[in-house]
Amino acid sequence: MTKQCQLAVHGLCISLLLLLAPGTLSAEWRAPNVHSIFSGSTFANGQSQNMGPAIRHTVEEYCDTLRFGLTMHAAVDGRRTQCGWGDRAANQVVAPAAGSCRQVGRELQGMQNQSGREYCDQSGDGWQYEPLDQVLRVEREMTFPEAYDSNLSVDTNVLSRWWERANLNLIMLERMPQTDNGDHGDRLITSLREACRSYDGHGGQFPSMPTFVLGMKHNPDDVSLYGGLLAAAGGTGQCCYDEDGCDIETDPAIDICTHIEDGRDEDKIRYDIAAQRYDCGGSAKLTETGAPDSTTLPNLECALAGKKCSGAFAPDPPTNFFGIFACIQVRPKDVPPEDFAVRYCHDDELNCHILTEGSGLEYVDENKTLYYLEGVNQNGTSYCSALGEGDATFEHWDCPNEGNPCDTGLPGRCGQGKISCDSGTEECVQTLAPMPEICNGLDDDCNGQVDNLSTSWDNQLFSVYDPTKLGDYDDDGVDREAIHCMERDVCTCQGGTLDYGGPGYEAHIMSWVPGTCVCGEGMAGESAGYTPAPSSDQQTQPRAGCSSATNGSATIAWMVFGLLGLMGLRRRGE
């Protein structure tokens, strides 16, 4: 599977609005940081056309679920100094923080009222200036200081902060990136590289930073394809490529981050986009992300919050970016992916499940730094929904194998156990106690011997069990009175062994089924559900004590023969 297909958020809150109230989750669950990236022209030319109200409304709707940040970048002609930015290409208006969504909403209201002009939007005065590559680089450097420009030999406290919570980019894309003089330079390929680097997380040294893309207004085809490439580079979409054109629904996806380094330059990629040699779509999972277009207010709410879709550019099913974001978490750095697990409980912790990779826990990125919960609980509610409604709890779990069967190392039935968790350490706990032997081909009393019926019932540990009460235990018509073979070592299991039964004595007795294991001849009649012991030429499984069982008639014959021989010798002597 290609890198860009790794965002496995299928079935995850596709049309669900998660309203996670503070305190409903354990301290382990940290609200992800969502870096919202806009250009100044996003809000130009009127409020309703550019969906400013819808953006503000959906951001505020998730105020208790996500930590929002807002970054703006220059839109046209490069007159950054008019904004007071100096040589910077971007301005981080609001850094992600608890409660930042209210401030983001106020800032969006201001941009909306000013039609974006205060963010260097000088519509019609010159060439477009879309320095998205610089924005992505600055965003990453502000999020992960010193991450790329050093050997990562930074303070341990800084390293630990990188792993506190998920960081996600949401780009509102409107135009192709250009330089400030109208030439494209290497803006497009550089922005793709920056998205790749953020998604890769410097080889897993810090958490992945995926890039989500939402196309704004009536994007021309080349901008839509560029948005698809950007989403694929950021791990949230996928694209195919062919010189004669391709179809992402039927053709294999490519790894964009490898593709752009395969002898391609800026001119080549722009030419291929204009020639429609790419086709892009969602992440090949049920929550189609990719780079959906939005042309009207309802369509924008459809993409951001999974509301009802309409119009030609409406994603179907709705994308619900914010619902997806709310479920993404960071794996602790000191726990390898193969050892990582979470404990998920619902209904006041009466029903708990240990979720591991591929079994309720799925990773977003190839380095397995970001993950989400996938599945439904016993009530048919998705894990994410139950958490959002406050009906479930969640915590990192140090014992991923808890509840799995294990071997205690003890003999017989005492060797069966389950893994338990004690202060973060897994240990194998015995689940079956020793029981008196019955004829089943197994070591029931855990002494290392099989079917030692002649001595097992004399053990003081079993004095509470009455062997005379082994008849029809549950009125099923099966007489179990002689399943201990009258406490003699004459048990033979020609048809294989039986089962240990449950932990209790009754379950132990009820596990016996007539016909598989039988007592020796003369020990029980056929009316009791037994059959005679097999003859010597039949294959039997040797059991402890069985070799001492002999045929009574044959023994008598040998005794008579020996007596007659002695009598004959005596007469000769006379």
Q: Which of the four pLDDT bands, split at 50, 70 and 90, describes residue 147?
A: low
423-432 pLDDT, tens digit per residue, is 778 899 999 9
pLDDT value of position 230: 95
Strand 370-373 to 392-397 pairing: unpaired
DSSP string, 362-410: EESSTT--EEEE--B-TTS-BHHHHHHTT-EEEEEES-TTTT-EEE-S-
Per-residue CA distances from 197 to 190, 192, 233, 235, 258 (Å): 10, 9, 9, 11, 12
| Mean pLDDT lowest among 73-77, 342-346, 567-571 | 567-571
pLDDT value of position 311: 66
pLDDT value of position 1: 38
Q: Which of the four pLDDT bands, split at 50, 70 and 90, describes residue 417?
A: very high
pLDDT value of position 78: 44
Q: Which of the four pLDDT bands, split at 50, 70 and 90, describes residue 566?
A: very low
Classify burial at 416, counting beta carbons within 10 Å of its beta carbon; exposed 0-12, middle 13-18, buried 19 or more.
middle
Report whether 69 contacts 94 (CB < 8 A). Answer: yes
Q: Which of the four pLDDT bands, split at 50, 70 and 90, describes residue 118?
A: low
Per-residue CA distances from 524 to 476, 481, 519, 530 (Å): 19, 9, 7, 6
Q: Which of the four pLDDT bands, split at 50, 70 and 90, describes residue 474?
A: low
pLDDT value of position 24: 38
Q: CA 445, CA 329: separation in Å to the nearest integer?
A: 49
Q: CA 405, CA 89: separation in Å to the nearest integer?
A: 58
187-211 pLDDT, tens digit per residue, is 899 999 999 999 998 878 889 999 9
Report whether 544 contacts 450 (CB < 8 A). Answer: yes
DSSP assignment, residue 218?
A: S
Classify burial at 125, counting beta carbons within 10 Å of its beta carbon; exposed 0-12, middle 13-18, buried 19 or more.
exposed
Q: Which residue has the higher pLDDT, 127 or 263?
A: 263
Query: Residue 171: is its pLDDT beyond 60?
Result: yes
Report whether 485 contacts 441 (CB < 8 A). Answer: no
Question: What's the order of all strands across the beta sheet hosting 167-173?
Answer: 90-94, 67-73, 33-39, 167-173, 211-216, 293-294
Stated pTM of the model: 0.68
pLDDT value of position 555: 41
Q: What is the rounded average pLDDT of the residues 460-481?
A: 74
| Mean pLDDT lowest among 79-88, 129-138, 215-224 | 79-88
Task: Give the residue from 317, 282, 285 showing the smallest Cα distance to 302.
Answer: 317
Q: What is the rounded average pLDDT of the residues 446-453?
A: 93
Mean pLDDT over the full length of the chain: 74
pLDDT value of position 443: 94
Q: Which residue has the higher pLDDT, 337 or 396?
A: 337
Query: Residue 564: is its pLDDT beyond 50?
Result: no
pLDDT value of position 33: 92
Return left, alpha or beta for 135; rule: phi > 0 is left, psi -120 to 50 is alpha, else beta: alpha
- Which helix (DSSP H) or strand (DSSP E) does residue 160 occupy? helix 156-162
pLDDT value of position 192: 95
Half-sphere exposure of 518 (CA within 13 A, CB side): 20
Q: What is the rounded average pLDDT of the residues 62-70?
A: 86
Q: CA 329, CA 159: separation in Å to the nearest integer?
A: 17
Query: Residue 153: is its pLDDT beyond 90?
Result: no
Classify burial at 438, counting beta carbons within 10 Å of its beta carbon; exposed 0-12, middle 13-18, buried 19 or more.
buried
Share of the chain above pLDDT 90, in %: 23
Q: Which of the four pLDDT bands, split at 50, 70 and 90, describes residue 304?
A: confident
Task: Give the residue from 412, 406, 452, 446 showing the smallest Cα distance to 429.
Answer: 406
Q: Which residue has the higher pLDDT, 451 or 514?
A: 451
Q: What is the rounded average pLDDT of the residues 61-83?
A: 69
Task: Tell me how far the alpha carbon of residue 1 is from its chain's centroid.
Answer: 17
Most confident of 235-249, 287-301, 473-487, 555-569: 235-249
Q: CA 470, CA 340: separation in Å to the nearest integer?
A: 48
Query: Residue 257: is its pLDDT beyond 90?
Result: yes
Share of the chain above pLDDT 70, in %: 67
Report whether 414 contacts 403 (CB < 8 A). Answer: no
DSSP assignment, residue 539?
A: -
Query: Residue 499: is its pLDDT beyond 80?
Result: yes
pLDDT value of position 288: 64
pLDDT value of position 229: 95
Task: Give the residue from 44, 100, 47 showing the smallest Cα distance to 71.
Answer: 100
pLDDT value of position 470: 73
1-32 pLDDT, tens digit per residue, is 344 333 434 334 433 333 343 333 344 678 89
319-362 pLDDT, tens digit per residue, is 778 888 888 999 988 888 988 888 888 876 678 888 889 888 98
Q: Which residue has 């499984």 as its token pair?
A: 541
Query: Residue 173: is its pLDDT beyond 70?
Result: yes
pLDDT value of position 338: 87
Classify burial at 553, counting beta carbons within 10 Å of its beta carbon; exposed 0-12, middle 13-18, buried 19 or more.
exposed
Q: What is the dihedral of CA 36, 129, 175, 282, to 10 degrees?
A: -50
Q: Which residue has the higher pLDDT, 24 or 269?
A: 269
